[in-house]
Amino acid sequence: MAFHGKYLLESQENYEEFLEAIDLLHAKTDGKVLTNVEQNGNDFTWTQSIPGWTWTNTFTIGQDCELVTLKGLKFKAPVTMQDGKISIQFPQYMFTAEIINDNLVMNCTIPGEKGVTFKRTSKKT
């Protein structure tokens, strides 16, 4: 249950470039980002909140799951975990998350021409 907990944004890299690449630059916020991860074995509820907006996905490691993008579009994808790192292929980017020194480190990588990796590090509260 390494992921279970509440995390507050500590730092982020390539945030604006990522939002621009997925056509969400208008959603940029400098507000407080809180990530709440509820983990029960392989079952997760993953919620990110900023003032005025909340985004939640529920998934099970090792299964195809119905998920929602940042734009609110539903899609199905397998959720995997290898060496403590969760991986999900979203329609526009690859999402990974892992715990490093009690910090939640999330990466969203867009391949190809628009190639950019957005990295968000959040400290456990």
Q: Outline where 6-112 has alpha helix (H).
A: 15-21
Q: Which residue has the higher pLDDT, 70 or 108?
A: 108
Look at residues 72, 70, 74 and name the one whose alpha carbon lies nearest to residue 93: 70
Q: How far apart are CA 97 and CA 91, in angstroms?
A: 17
pLDDT, tens only, 68-107: 998 889 999 999 999 999 999 999 999 999 999 999 999 9
Q: Mind listing the pLDDT tens digit for each residue in 23-49?
A: 887 777 777 899 999 999 999 999 999
pLDDT of 48-70, one tens digit each? 998 878 899 999 999 999 999 98
Task: Look at residue 28 in the predicted model and tell me its pLDDT.
Answer: 72
Instruction: Strands of the chain (E only): list them.
Output: 5-13, 34-40, 43-50, 53-60, 64-68, 74-82, 85-89, 94-100, 103-110, 116-124
| Dihedral angle sign, alpha carbons of residues 102, 39, 13, 53 | negative
In CATH terms, the fold of domain 5-124 is: Lipocalin (2.40.128)
State the chain's mean pLDDT as an integer.
93
Rounded average pLDDT over 107-115:
88
Please give the Cα distance from 103 to 124 (Å, whole number): 6
